[in-house]
Amino acid sequence: MTDETPKPQKLIVVSGPSGAGRSTAINVLEDLGFEAIDNVPLTLIPRLTDGPLLRPLAIGLDVRNRDFTVSGVSDLMTQLHQRADIDAQLLFLEAAEDTLVRRYSETRRRHPLAPDEPAIQGIRREADLLMPLRQKAEFLLDTSDMSPHDLKAHLTDWFGDRGAALFGISLQSFSYKRGTPKGVDMMFDCRFLKNPYWDPSLRASTGLDPAVGTHIETDARLAGFVAKVTDLLLMLLPAFREEGKSHLSIGFGCTGGQHRSVYVTEQLALALANQGWQVSKRHREMDRTRMSPLP
């Protein structure tokens, strides 16, 4: 007979500013098999975790909780981290200030920290209040440019059956004209490559079009660039995983975010997947056309 120690059960505490997507995240985790409970009072959480968890648990906490305090959440995470039977992690969702203002305007809701003032006042107070939690989070996700579909894809990579067991890698293309993406661990500039934009027949296409790929491949620097970036990542990824990092986000940018960065993102995703890595990808500028608010 073998004496096997039971594997710790996953517990995800989901927090972040109002409007950043916590409700959507809780629903996604529930779809992934978590027992999901939103807006539970802090004083009741020890009772929920009294004894072994029968399945993964996701708990949503924000400033609307009746007894919410940042110190209370910090103390809670410290207590959970001390338990050998629970693998507790804090998922912090955030979004840019202008994005949160827009989301409040679209939903016509009042901010819980500024019920009789413009939403921007509550958004700024909440950002200051939650900064200590943001700094403690194991998982930090900026949802500013995300649709509910994008958020679901990220959380599935991180907390789904495969994502829970493997090191997750997110690749995304973006336009430098629209600003660099927040939360990425490293970025690569693709603007040195031959630009399909200047070919009128390719201008309206994207890096997903084979003709665009063929055009970029005529640049003799492409193959070496992809090979060297692939080699660099294959060297770094095991080291990051050994250091306890569970996810790495990598951006590839070009001028418009439609051609070169999209194509290179696709090539790197394929190269890493062929080496057995769990990879997700998104194309930020292409996704903007199908954006919808995150509750």
Residue numbers belonging to the annotated binding site: 16-23, 62-65
* CA 97 – CA 121 distance, rounded (Å): 11
Task: List, as residue ranges, the binding site for GTP.
Answer: 62-65
Token pair, residue 239, equals 């080291």
Token pair, residue 144, equals 């500013």
User: 261: burial class by Cβ within 10 Å (0-12, 13-18, 19+)?
Assistant: buried
Q: Which residue is associated with the tokens 């495969």?
A: 162
* CA 83 – CA 71 distance, rounded (Å): 19
Long-range contacts of 26-35 (CB under 8 A, 24+ apart): 26/58, 26/60, 28/151, 28/152, 28/155, 28/156, 29/56, 29/58, 29/155, 29/159, 30/58, 31/152, 32/56, 32/155, 32/156, 32/159, 32/160, 32/161, 33/161, 34/10, 34/58, 34/159
Task: List, as residue ranges, the binding site for ATP.
Answer: 16-23
Q: Residue 95 in contact with residue 21, Cβ under 8 Å?
A: yes
Give 250's strand partners: 171, 186
Strand runs (DSSP E) across 184-223, as ranges? 186-189
User: 224: burial class by Cβ within 10 Å (0-12, 13-18, 19+)?
Assistant: exposed
- Cα–chain-centroid distance for residue 170? 8
